[in-house]
Homo-oligomer: A and B are copies of this chain.
Amino acid sequence: METVAIFGVGLIGGSFALALRHAGFKGVILGVSSPRTIEQAVALRVIDAGVDEETAARQADLIYLAQPIHEILNSIARLNPWVKPEALVTDAGSTKTAVTQHASRYLRRCEFLGGHPLAGKETAGVSSAEPQLFQGRKYVVTPFHSEQLAVTAVRNFLIWLDKIGAVRVVLDPAEHDRAVAYTSHVPQLAATALALALKNSGANLDVFGPGVLDMTRLAMSPFSVWKDILETNSSEIRSALSIYIAALQRLTDAVGSEDMRNQFEQGADLARQLRGSKLFRGVE
């Protein structure tokens, strides 16, 4: 692997570039981003140079798509005529079914591997990028089939994931999207809905404790981050929301009854289980 092209040199793309360097990558790192981001990324020595997407795709052994999901989809639809046959294209989008389906349709001339690094920061942009961002974090990869992991270009990428300290998790794209519907997308919508319920309640909002602040923090997430996620995982999200609403309805029925104790205890078990899992130590 001599040339890497990062499409979307933001927090994730920039951190991946820095992490590669930090782990000993000696080749060229190209960036495809807006002129302003390229200028910043070159000045910060995150990338070696900015180029257009065709130039990047023709030279790269690894193409790392770290754009918003709809731009990842657009890039995938355009790359095929330019890519080297031995290259790997991978992405860092938060949903995987739409992206991998798109890749299997449009990207026929080289290998594609879907990816989702469970890494992030409060601040975005290349100026927040750091080489340690993936260290100890889970990094989900979603091959089309398990044999794909033995293909040379894929195997090399996985070795680099190990070198940058990421903890690999292999999942089917649909299993990934179903999991994040519950563990990420519904929690976001639960927070937004709670904020909306407070707004609609007409209740005196002078009186509250710290719990509601925990429970509405996610409601401040910008919609720009969520638009593509919601659009590309809508059926799993609707189904997970219906399970959540059903759990709330059972709790409503249990208010004032002995069954409530049982439900609290089951909920507490799960909350502790999440915190005890290896993953939590990874992504905290």
- Residue pair A201, B243 in contact (C-beta under 8 Å): yes
- Residue pair B251, A189 in contact (C-beta under 8 Å): yes
Is A261 in contact with chain B by the CB < 8 A criterion? yes
The distance from the CB of A52 to the nearest CB of chain B, in whole angstroms, is 31
- Residue pair B192, A263 in contact (C-beta under 8 Å): yes
With contacts A192-B267, A215-B215 known, is A260 near B209, CB below 8 A?
A: no
- Residue pair A271, B219 in contact (C-beta under 8 Å): yes
With contacts A138-B206, A212-B183 known, is A194 near B199, CB below 8 A?
A: no
A180 to B209, CA, bound (A): 9
CB neighbours of A223 from chain B (8 A):
260-261, 264-265
The distance from the CB of A86 to the nearest CB of chain B, in whole angstroms, is 30
A243 to B279, CA, bound (A): 34
CB neighbours of A124 from chain B (8 A):
none
- Residue pair A120, B209 in contact (C-beta under 8 Å): yes
A146 to B255, CA, bound (A): 32
- Interchain CB contact (< 8 A) of A213 among B169, B176, B188, B275: B275
A194 to B264, CA, bound (A): 11
The distance from the CB of A221 to the nearest CB of chain B, in whole angstroms, is 8
- Residue pair A247, B182 in contact (C-beta under 8 Å): no
- Residue pair A256, B234 in contact (C-beta under 8 Å): yes
- Residue pair A187, B194 in contact (C-beta under 8 Å): yes
The distance from the CB of A85 to the nearest CB of chain B, in whole angstroms, is 32
Question: What per-residue 1/0 map shows which CB atoms of A244-276 lie under 8 Å from chain B?
Answer: 111111111001100011011111111111110
Is A197 in contact with chain B by the CB < 8 A criterion? yes
Q: What residue in chain B is nearest A223 (Cβ atoms)?
A: B264
Interface stretch, picked from A2-10, A43-51, A55-63, A225-233, is A225-233
B-contacting residues, A194-219, CB 8 Å: 194-201, 203-219
- Residue pair B196, A179 in contact (C-beta under 8 Å): no
Is A66 in contact with chain B by the CB < 8 A criterion? no
- Residue pair A216, B274 in contact (C-beta under 8 Å): yes
- Interchain CB contact (< 8 A) of A193 among B244, B272, B283: B244
A122 to B17, CA, bound (A): 41
Given contacts A138-B206, A244-B248, 15 further A-B contacts (CB under 8 A): A169-B206, A184-B209, A184-B211, A187-B214, A195-B266, A197-B246, A208-B283, A211-B218, A212-B274, A215-B215, A216-B267, A216-B271, A220-B268, A220-B271, A242-B252
